[in-house]
Amino acid sequence: MALLEVRNLRTTFLTEDGLVTAVNGLSYAIDAGSTLGIVGESGSGKSVNALSIMRLIQRPGKIESGEIRLNGENLLTKSENEMRHIRGNEIAMIFQDPMTSLNPVLTVGEQISEAIQLHLGYNRHDAMTKTIDMLRLVRISVPERRVKDYPHQFSGGMRQRVMIAMALSCEPKVLIADEPTTALDVTIQAQILELMNEMQSRTGAAIILITHDLGVVAEVCENVLVMYGGNMVEYGTAEQIFDRPKMPYTQGLLTSLPRLDATQPERLVPIKGQPPNLLRLPPGCAFAPRCAFRMPICDEPVPLYDFKDGHVARCYLYDERAAGQRPIEVETAPRVSLSEVAATPQELAEKR
C-alpha cells in the first residue's frame, strides 16, 4: 500500500463569474522514501492539489469529492482538530514564499519551537534545544544566536532553510515542497536540493516536489506527474517522461527547454496559445485547442492509456479509433533526452 494516495480529487472555487474547477478528478500515489515531481504551467492545479492534501483550502474554495489517504486513512473525513495534529506532524509543507509564510513579529526560534511543543509535547527549553539542532542541521551558522533573529534578518536562501527546518522538525512522513527553489540563485538552489535529499535519506520521508524547473525534476525525482487543466495528463518515471514522452503537452514542455548540449544558440519552441479557462473547461482534452495533433475524437472525454511499467498518458493519439483521424505521425514528435535536462544547478550555472 502506498504511503499517500490521492483518488479522484476535485477542488473548486465559487467565484462571481462561476465555478472554477482547479483540480479535476486527480489521482496518484507516492511511496515512502520516494520523490514525486509535479510539473505544469501556472494555473494547472499544482499548488491547489498540495493545499487540498493539507486541508488548507479556504472559502470560497471547497474540496467537493475524492479521497486523500495517508496510510490508508482518508484525511477528508478527519475533523479540524485531528488535522491540526496531522499537519506538521505527519504531513508538512514548505510554502512557495517563505517571507509570507513566516510570522514577521516572532523570532524564527519561537516559530519552530512552537511547532515542536505542539506536536511532540516538548517543554519550552527542550523545544528550543531541538530548534537549535534543526537550524544547525540545515547549515545555518551560529544557530544559538540566530534563533533570536526575525525573518527579515535572513536572506531568501536562509529563510528557505528555516522553512525546511520547521517542516522537518517533527520528522513528517510526507513533505510537500511548493517551488522551494524559486527566486534563489543556482548555488543556493543546489544547497536547498541537497539538503532536502539528505533529510529524506535520514528520515525516509516521501517528498512531493512542485516546480516549473524540469531540470530540477530530472535531477532529483524518481517519478513525474504532468498536470494540465487541473488533472494528470501523463505520469511515469523521470526516464520515461524525459526520454519517451507520450502526451503532446509534455513534449511541448520539454521542447521549450534550453538544451545543455547545444553547440550554438537555438530558438526555444514555446507552446502556442494559453492555458485553459478553468471556468469553462472543454468537454474532452483540455489541451486540444493548443495541440498540433488535434482530432475530432479529442472532443470526447479522454481516458488514461497504459504504456506499461507505470507509464500512463491521457491522449487519443494512442487509441485505435483515432487511426483514421491522425493528422501527424506520432513518431515525428520531438524528443528530449533525460541526459540533456538532468543537470545540477551548479552545472547549469557553468553553462551560463
DSSP for 100-127 reads: HHS-TTS-HHHHHHHHHHHHH---HHHH
Q: Which residues lie below 8 Å from residue 184, measured CB to CB, with a gap of 6+?
A: 156, 157, 160, 192
Cell representation of residue 158: 536562509
pLDDT at 5: 97
Q: Which residues lie below 8 Å from residue 17, measured CB to CB, with a gap of 6+?
A: 279
Q: Are 40 and 86 in contact (CB under 8 A)?
A: no
Q: Structure pTM?
A: 0.86
Sign for the pseudo-dihedral over CA of 291, 297, 298, 302: negative
Model confidence pLDDT, tens digit, residues 118-150: 888 999 999 999 999 999 988 899 999 999 999
Q: Which of 341, 325, 340, 335 is nearest to 248 (CA)?
A: 335
268 vs 330: which has the higher pLDDT: 268
Mean pLDDT of all residues in 216-223? 91
User: Phi and psi at residue 350, in whole multiples of 5°?
Assistant: -70, -25
Least confident range of 30-39, 47-56, 269-278: 269-278
Predicted confidence (pLDDT) at residue 261 exceeds the cutoff of 70 = no
The band of 324, judged by pLDDT with boundaries at 50, 70 and 90, is low
pLDDT at 268: 76
Task: Kindly report the number of other CB atoms within 10 A of residue 7's CB atom.
Answer: 15
Predicted confidence (pLDDT) at residue 334 exceeds the cutoff of 50 = no
Half-sphere exposure of 116 (CA within 13 A, CB side): 23
Mean pLDDT of all residues in 17-41? 94
Q: Are 322 and 285 in contact (CB under 8 A)?
A: no
pLDDT at 191: 82
Model confidence pLDDT, tens digit, residues 69-84: 999 999 999 999 999 9
Q: Are 278 and 43 in contact (CB under 8 A)?
A: yes
Beginning with the edge strand found earlier in the chain, give each strand of the sheet holding 305-306 in spatial order. Answer: 91-94, 174-178, 206-210, 35-39, 223-228, 231-237, 312-313, 305-306
Model confidence pLDDT, tens digit, residues 56-65: 999 999 999 9
pLDDT at 348: 38
Angle between the N-to-C axes of helices 108-120 and 156-168, in degrees from 0 to 180, rounded to the nearest 10 = 10
> Cell 479556504 identifies what position?
58
Q: For the CA atoms of the chain, what is the radius of gyration?
A: 21
pLDDT at 327: 53
pLDDT at 19: 93
